Amino acid sequence: MRLTTRIQLMFMMFLMFSTWGAWYGQMGKYLFTSLHANGDQIGSAYATFSIASIFAPFFVGLIADRFFSAQKVMGVLNILGAVILYFLIQNKDADTFFWYILAYTLTFAPNLALSSSIAMNQMKDPGKEFPPIRVLGTIAWIVVTNIIGYYEIGDKVTIFQIAMFTSIAWGIYAFTLPNTPPKASGTASVSQILGTDSFVLFKDRSFLIFFISSVLVCIPLAFYYAHANLSLTESHMTKVENKMSLGQASEVLFMLLIPFALQKFGIKKMLIVGLIAWIVRFICFGYGDGISSEWILYLAIVLHGVCYDFFFVTGQIYTDNKAGDKIKNSAQGLITLATYGVGMGIGSFLSGKVLTKYTTGNVHDWTSVWMVPAGIAAVVLILFVIFFHDKKTEKLVE
């Protein structure tokens, strides 16, 4: 890959995660503090991202795989997203907010698969070349959340104003990215148009187990995104956004370790380590306190790198290895559907119900809340260890 292409892809990741990081982790606190939302309303707002992710394979499978270049689709979606954010910023009602954020996430969610496809289409060895590029997204998340934490605006509408401006910049920039034309040819069947041609991957038993595990582990993941910021704030931790960015800093470290870990340990062991880390961090969130045991909360935060990289980023690489050239885009859309769609959709609604159940007045029982995702992650770990076997892919990566 040429250096100029590498820099282009890095900046694409930087803009995407600047936009996403500006609002996603802070939205729950913003809804609770500024719009006086309850647990169910917060859970529903986060579920919109999952609803949008279910439709993402349609956009990717139809447009990027078959009819239009992926970078042009990305550009149009983000300019449209900036327009929607403009109207969301004017909204002051928690119920109406749901419809605005749903409309916006419908424009954002397809970018997760599009960005991976644009990047990986330029690579000969995604296992080695993708992590150093993807890590710029993590750096962007660190930068934007630290700005938000420094100015203490995590509970203000400013988070969406930042996302609006970065979305405009990202949308315009997307048109300058390396051309990623559709690779599929011939007459399009209904399954190809809907992106379901990548369902052929389910014939591989190990991929099916990985897919199911991805769905299930995203249930507890949704708890983290929806409630971690508010939980840490109510645990008497100060400068929460700044300290939470340590999680992304650890993500940078482990992202860079992925090529070496893949070669030494293989896919299965990396995914297992990621699942164990999820269990430990939820227990830490449940029992840490910003006054007497803040170190436990720090441990929960820094485990984010292992949790996210060793399961989700490794999963993207695993999916790319399994898919052929004609369905690379659809395959990435499929794993987006599994993780950010079905799994986090269930998790977002469940997290809202659990928060409401363990809330008395305005007081939340965070220990009880966090034990629910910890238990779910433990079940996923047991099932994955027993049923996932993919020696072929481990050898392929090596």
Q: pLDDT of 272-313, one tens digit each?
A: 998 999 999 999 999 999 889 999 999 999 999 898 888 877
**DSSP secondary structure of 291-328:** TTBHHHHHHHHHTHHHHHIIIIIHHHHHHHHHS-GGGH
To the nearest whole number, what is the mean pLDDT of the chain? 87
Determine the Cα–Cα distance for residues 214 and 95; give it in Å rounded to an integer: 30
pTM higher than 0.85: no
Determine the Cα–Cα distance for residues 302 and 232; give it in Å rounded to an integer: 14
- pLDDT on residue 356: 92
- pLDDT on residue 187: 53
- pLDDT on residue 394: 40
- pLDDT on residue 395: 34
Angle CA 1–207–269, to nearest 5: 75
Whether the CB-CB separation of 376 and 346 falls below 8 Å is answered with no
Phi/psi of residue 359, each to 5°?
-120, 130
Q: State which residues of the chain have pLDDT below 70.
A: 57-66, 183-197, 324-326, 328-329, 332-333, 390-398
**Contact residues for 332 (Cβ-Cβ < 8 A; gap 6+):** 60, 112, 113, 116, 117, 120, 316, 319, 320, 323
Determine the Cα–Cα distance for residues 225 and 33; give it in Å rounded to an integer: 16
